[in-house]
Amino acid sequence: MSPAGGPAELVLLNPGPANTSERVRRALDRGDMCHREPEFSRLLESIRAGLVETLVSPHSHEAVVITGSGTAAVEMAVLSSVRPGRAVLVLENGAYGERIGRMCAAQGLKTYQVVEEWARPIDPARVTDALAAHPDIDAVAGVMHETTSGLVNPMEEIGAIVAATDAVLVVDAISATGHETPELARIQADLVCGTANKGLHGLPGAAFVLIGRSKGLSRVERTPVRSGYLDLAGHLRAQRGGEVLYTPAVQVYQAFDEAIREFRELGGYRARVADYRARAALLRSGFARLGLEILVAPPHRSNSVTTVRLPAGVAYRALHDELKERGFVVYAGQGRLSGDYFRVCNMGELALPTLSRFVSELEEVLTLW
């Protein structure tokens, strides 16, 4: 048993925090470090450089790393993307798009919305129409992979539309960095938000924004500061000089740096996409064999999250608890999907035989009802 009372080695099939390698966990134990010393500056620079080199390009983006969860990175990017008196176009087809809308409302930012059903992608033509109808739109903000449903939005097309205007594109890529298609480098995004503890296989507590050099940097530098902590321009200035504004989660950064190294050594983006696709294919063929229905239609499915309809007569909590007894943590459906669906995610340090075992356990558990 773990100190928290659960089985010591749970297989996490929730969409992050994901299982990590021993190598990454060991990096937590490299000893204490002061964040105002040169060794921390080197660590920070290694993460910042590693992120842009592996996910985009040092020529196209610059990274800012903060201590906080993914939501902090998204809020920081959104607050830093819209100038006073201007508006944000929010793309909503899931809980995370809706969350961006709530962040804007909390700051009194003017918004317009493109709203779509939760299992359908945002239609890029509606983004074009909204930009034409509302010339005060300064930023378009949307979610690349809606973890709510497991759907990937057409961000490459949306990026091309926004790039032809003066607006900037903010992409919540929290559950897409390193493993969803298309590659982030193909998306003309001005602010890309990510986190350590999902597809990059780091630990929770560190998040980042990749700022595009074409429009992103100048927009961030020209947008008035709206938050003391989530001051993207301030973090950027400090981090360019190897400094941080506030106390970072030093050990989590050490593990994050190790996770980025591991990602590169294992073959980077291409290898992780191939790996995640094989995992998702194994799970989905298992679900098909068990007669389980998947929410999202095939062309829009992500490589990492599958939202599955609960069979008639099966309650999520009972299913979850039975599977947890067998060592697997599945995840509830979100918001309006919670009554009818559950989610199975294949992020993190996972082997295909483990997923095969999960499908067998699921098959057995489903015979209980």
Ligand X SMILES: Cc1ncc(COP(=O)(O)O)c(C=O)c1O
Instruction: State how far the Cα of 154 lies from the Cα of 176, in Å rounded to an integer.
Output: 13
Instruction: State how far the Cα of 23 lies from the Cα of 255, in Å rounded to an integer.
Output: 8
Instruction: Establish if 211 lies at the interface with ligand X (CB under 6 A).
Output: no
Residue nearer to ligand X on the CB measure, 202 or 212: 202
Count of other CB atoms within 10 angstroms of residue 293: 13
Q: Please report how close the Cβ of residue 148 comes to ligand X at its closest, in angstroms.
A: 8
Instruction: Establish if 307 lies at the interface with ligand X (CB under 6 A).
Output: no
DSSP 259-286: HHHHHHHTTHHHHHHHHHHHHHHHHHHH
Window 1 to 60, contacts with ligand X (CB under 6 A): 15-16
Residue nearer to ligand X on the CB measure, 69 or 81: 69
**What value, to the nearest 5°, has the Cα angle with vertex 118 and ends 112 and 124?**
50
Q: Please report how close the Cβ of residue 14 comes to ligand X at its closest, in angstroms.
A: 9
Instruction: Establish if 92 lies at the interface with ligand X (CB under 6 A).
Output: no
**Residue 156 · residue 182 · CB < 8 Å:** yes
Q: Residues binding ligand X: what is the number (CB under 6 A)?
A: 13
Instruction: State how far the Cα of 233 lies from the Cα of 64, in Å rounded to an integer.
Output: 9
Instruction: Establish if 147 lies at the interface with ligand X (CB under 6 A).
Output: yes
Residue nearer to ligand X on the CB measure, 139 or 359: 139
Instruction: Establish if 172 lies at the interface with ligand X (CB under 6 A).
Output: yes
Angle, in degrees to the nearest 10, between helices 316-325 and 352-366: 130
From the list 169-177, 317-325, 345-353, 359-367, the region that binds ligand X by CB under 6 A is 169-177
Instruction: Establish if 96 lies at the interface with ligand X (CB under 6 A).
Output: yes
Binds ligand X by CB under 6 A, chosen from 12, 52, 143, 189: 143
Instruction: State how far the Cα of 58 lies from the Cα of 93, in Å rounded to an integer.
Output: 31
Window 63 to 82, contacts with ligand X (CB under 6 A): 69-71, 74
Binding map of ligand X across residues 270-299, x = CB under 6 A, - = no contact: ------------------------------
Omega cis (within 30) before 182: yes
**Residue showing tokens 């920070």:** 44
Number of alpha carbons in the 13 Å side-chain half-sphere of residue 10: 19
Q: Please report how close the Cβ of residue 259 comes to ligand X at its closest, in angstroms.
A: 15
* 145 three-state secondary structure: strand
Chain residues that interact with ligand X, rule: CB under 6 A = 15-16, 69-71, 74, 96, 143, 147, 172, 174-175, 195
